[in-house]
Structure 1
Amino acid sequence: MGFLVSNPLPVLPEFQSGMVKSAHYNYKKENSMDTSSKAYKLLSLIAISGECSKDVYPFLYLTDSYNEKLMTRLKSDGLIKIHYKDKLRGIRLTRRGKDLLLSLSPERFSYYFADNSETNRPRSDLPRRLRLQQASIAYAMLQCAGIPVYPEEKSALFSGNPQDSAKFALPLFYTAREWKELGAETIKINNSRSLGILLCEDALYVLYFTGDHPIKWEYRTELRLKAFLNYHLKQDMFLGLCQKNTDYPIKALFLGNPMESAKTLMESNGGYQKSYFYLDGSFDFMHFLPASMEGITLLKLLCSPALQSTLDSLLRSDLEPANPDLGLIHDAIKGTTPVLLSYNFDMLRLSRFKTALSFHEITGHLICFDFQKDTLQSYFGDLATIETIDLAKFERRFFH
């Protein structure tokens, strides 16, 4: 286990000084643009979210200096505009920007520029704008992790045709708007806070964005959403997934910023009338990952059951098997100490482990990534010791 160290997290190579290359920008009067350019990628991201947050820039590998030049050029060409209201600044497309994208790829963008949809005519009230901007960050992270989000990159969600799904490899992401196309059937889950669903080989993740504080939360609505998704899984309408895996769990995945906001979520009591998130058990698994480049690595890992299995085997190689007579949830034993593999940051599991340690008046041991250590140490206090996986070494070993 050579990548188990406790050194501080190093700066990722993409962000070291002088190592980020500028993208070629090629917009001309005759409405052409290099579709491999970062300008096109940024415009595309604005299109699918309705209003884009500046926090997406790192996921497009835009340096501050290049970003300033790019934004100036896009504004001077009349493709974007800055919308500022309620102290919130966002980026929106102009009519000319939409026309350019439609001329370049109608099969991709016509869906987002139809009728009075929020991606075509975004509202101005603060909660809706925040949601659109949060979605833009989530979409940028998904794309950065190599997960398709655009319509032409995936089969229709409820096609029910295994031949359609065979054309596309998992993982795939579908927005909440795509499942709401079922119409009246989705009325009871219209108030769900989910941004969409991520279909992986071994699980379906319901995606939420919580920011730096507990998300607004309605337990019954999210429970109905889970039941809705489970029903359609059993009816085999999700790309034939149940044919491939009869034990296909539905999990919650929360994006937040910074990493410390995970502790806030785990300690939340729901606030007044339980209107904010708390660990209510509506899902059996509630994972958290930061809206950062570290979160991208964790997202890739969660989407790869084979890689998780390999990592688990490596981490357990120096440990004893779990003891079923111990009376608490754990993955292995180190001496006489129960060990929890916590790199996937399942908040519900972490909370139960902490409660059990306190109840039995014993100390546990956690194995996590280095960027997760401070949050877990603050949450567990003296109840657990922590061993870390060096993120940079892990990435070099498994992703390069």
Structure 2
Amino acid sequence: MRTEDLLPGKDTQSYRLLELTAICGEFPADLLPRLPGSTSYKETVICSLKKEKLLKTYYRDRLRGYRLGRRAKLLLLSGHPERFSFYLTGNTDTNLLKSEYSRRLRLHRMAEVYVFMQNAGISIFRDKKPQIFAPDGSPVSQLSKPAFYSSREIKELGIEMVKIRGSRTMGMLLAPSGPFLVYNSGPDTAKWDYLSEQKAKVLLEILLCRQRLAPQYAQMQIQGILTGHGMEPFYQILASADSHTRCFFLLDGNYEHFYYLTNDHCGEVLLKLLCDPEKTQTLNRILSEGLYPRDCKSLIEQDAVDGDGNPVLFGYFLDIPRINRFLSALRIQERTGTLICFDFQQDMLSRLCGESVLIQTISFCKFERRFFP
């Protein structure tokens, strides 16, 4: 009997859950709502997979997740080795699973990033993207479609990656709009090892922008993406910008752009936009209607100027250092300005900005219908 006959069909929710579990090591139970399908249908899928001994539940330290059964591992490896052997063989965290809370939490955070990327239409499977970080060099000089590479895939480079041990990055997103180091704070405020993260950025910038993907990224710098649960982590980062507890890594010039995206459907749509320079330019052109070109001589971060000469910032990407520069300059110069964001971001930004900043909103529902129907 063929392997395909022993596994669910490849276009089924059952198979998609198995392949995600394979590359995650342990798939968080609370991440199921982010997958397509109704709750009742997904519950049926889980029951069926467990009954067939393809999936099993693991619960410890208040973390509940799903792990592959031995039979599922063997079937996935024999049926699609180019996709799964990297994760299901050898002495790896996704193959030899541990019970320590910190190791499992890392797997859960990585699973959140994989689902986030996949829901945004970004390639996550090894057989669907060029191996940019292969030890013998990249097989291509540029990418036509966005692809995400986990931190473990980056470490295929070998001895060079010892220099960035301690970095909390989940991996890299390579897109037409640029290369992005990706972090996931979950529900918490991210903690950073300043030196490790700085080394990671510099080393990968040399590797990608000056060497392997220079034809595509030579004029670019690595940018950052931080995902988190809801808007509170972003608020905490900006609210502490003037205190001794400020996040130096994000606010002190290491990155010109570091975007905060909520780890939900809204964030996934914004990630699609961030990866698409043409759609981003179209949105900015629409927002510029009725405004004047930005004042290039001004020391205030801005995208346009209103009729009274006040700066206007398009802040819908929640670019942490850029919004911080905008707010800091307004305070220092005792000026007022306008910040344009999506409606789901309004409450948090109003709480953060105070009365000196007028918040104007874009309807997220109308935007999505127009740009991503």
Distance in 2 of aligned mates of 1:270 and 1:198: 30
1:111 partner SS: helix
Change over 3 Å in CA distance of 1:40–1:306 after alignment to 2? same
Q: Which residue of 2 aligns with 1:36?
A: 11
Query: Does 2:219 correspond to 1:247?
Result: yes
Query: Does 2:365 correspond to 1:376?
Result: no
Q: CA deviation at 1:277?
A: 6.8
Q: Which residue of 2 aligns with 1:110?
A: 85
Give the letter aligned to residue 305 of structure 1. P
Give the letter aligned to residue 116 of structure 1. N
Query: Does 2:232 correspond to 1:260?
Result: yes
Structure 2 unpaired stretches of 5+: none
Contact 1:206–1:253, Cα closer than 8 Å, also in 2 = yes
Q: CA deviation at 1:235?
A: 4.2
Distance in 2 of aligned mates of 1:134 and 1:62: 22
Distance in 1 of aligned mates of 2:249 and 2:33: 28
Give the letter aligned to residue 75 of structure 2. L
Q: CA deviation at 1:62?
A: 3.1
Contact 2:273–2:280, Cα closer than 8 Å, also in 1 = yes
Counterpart among 92, 105, 115 of residue 140 in structure 1: 115
Contact 1:214–1:276, Cα closer than 8 Å, also in 2 = no
Q: CA deviation at 1:104?
A: 2.8
1:84 partner SS: strand
Q: Which residue of 2 aligns with 1:86?
A: 61
**Paired residues, number:** 370
Query: Does 2:29 correspond to 1:57?
Result: no
Give the letter aligned to residue 344 of structure 1. F
Q: Which residue of 2 aligns with 1:348?
A: 321
Distance in 2 of aligned mates of 1:272 and 1:259: 22
Give the letter aligned to residue 118 of structure 1. D
Which region of structure 1 is more displaced relative to structure 2, 93-102 or 50-59?
50-59
1:192 partner SS: coil
Q: CA deviation at 1:211?
A: 1.2
Query: Does 2:48 correspond to 1:73?
Result: yes
Query: Which structure 2 residues correspond to residues 171-182 of structure 1 after superposition, within 5 A?
Result: 171-182=146-157
1:132-184: CA deviation from partner (whole Å, max 9, x where unpaired): 10111110111111111111001111358776456x63211111111111221
1:252 partner SS: strand
Q: CA deviation at 1:261?
A: 2.1
Change over 3 Å in CA distance of 1:269–1:333 after alignment to 2? closer
Q: Which residue of 1 aligns with 2:339?
A: 366
Distance in 2 of aligned mates of 1:185 and 1:162: 15
1:11-44: CA deviation from partner (whole Å, max 9, x where unpaired): xxxxxxxxxxxxxxxxx99513210111111111
2:87 partner SS: coil
Contact 1:55–1:137, Cα closer than 8 Å, also in 2 = no
Query: Does 2:372 correspond to 1:399?
Result: yes
Which region of structure 1 is more displaced relative to structure 2, 108-117 or 275-284?
275-284
Change over 3 Å in CA distance of 1:275–1:370 after alignment to 2? closer
Change over 3 Å in CA distance of 1:374–1:235 after alignment to 2? same
Identity value in percent: 38
1:84-126: CA deviation from partner (whole Å, max 9, x where unpaired): 1111111111211212222331211111111110111122211
Contact 1:266–1:347, Cα closer than 8 Å, also in 2 = yes
Change over 3 Å in CA distance of 1:52–1:396 after alignment to 2? same
Q: Which residue of 2 aligns with 1:187?
A: 162
Structure 1 unpaired stretches of 5+: 1-27
Change over 3 Å in CA distance of 1:83–1:204 after alignment to 2? same
Q: CA deviation at 1:60?
A: 1.6
1:341-379: CA deviation from partner (whole Å, max 9, x where unpaired): 001110111111111111122221111111111111111
Change over 3 Å in CA distance of 1:249–1:332 after alignment to 2? same
Change over 3 Å in CA distance of 1:250–1:276 after alignment to 2? closer
Contact 1:366–1:385, Cα closer than 8 Å, also in 2 = yes
Query: Does 2:303 correspond to 1:331?
Result: yes
Distance in 2 of aligned mates of 1:352 and 1:275: 14
Distance in 2 of aligned mates of 1:286 and 1:225: 15
Aligned-pair Cα RMSD in Å: 2.5
Distance in 2 of aligned mates of 1:384 and 1:269: 17
Query: Does 2:186 correspond to 1:211?
Result: yes
Give the letter aligned to residue 341 of structure 1. F
1:110 partner SS: helix
Query: Which structure 2 residues correspond to residues 313-332 of structure 1 after superposition, within 5 A?
Result: 313-332=285-304
1:101 partner SS: helix
Q: Which residue of 2 aligns with 1:231?
A: 206
Q: Which residue of 2 aligns with 1:306?
A: 278
Change over 3 Å in CA distance of 1:314–1:62 after alignment to 2? same
Distance in 2 of aligned mates of 1:52 and 1:155: 25
Change over 3 Å in CA distance of 1:126–1:194 after alignment to 2? same
Contact 1:270–1:276, Cα closer than 8 Å, also in 2 = no
1:225-278: CA deviation from partner (whole Å, max 9, x where unpaired): 0111111124422xxx32134311201100100123211122347999989975
Q: CA deviation at 1:191?
A: 1.3
Change over 3 Å in CA distance of 1:275–1:302 after alignment to 2? closer
Distance in 2 of aligned mates of 1:133 and 1:356: 39
Higher relative contact order (CA 8 A, sep 6+): 1
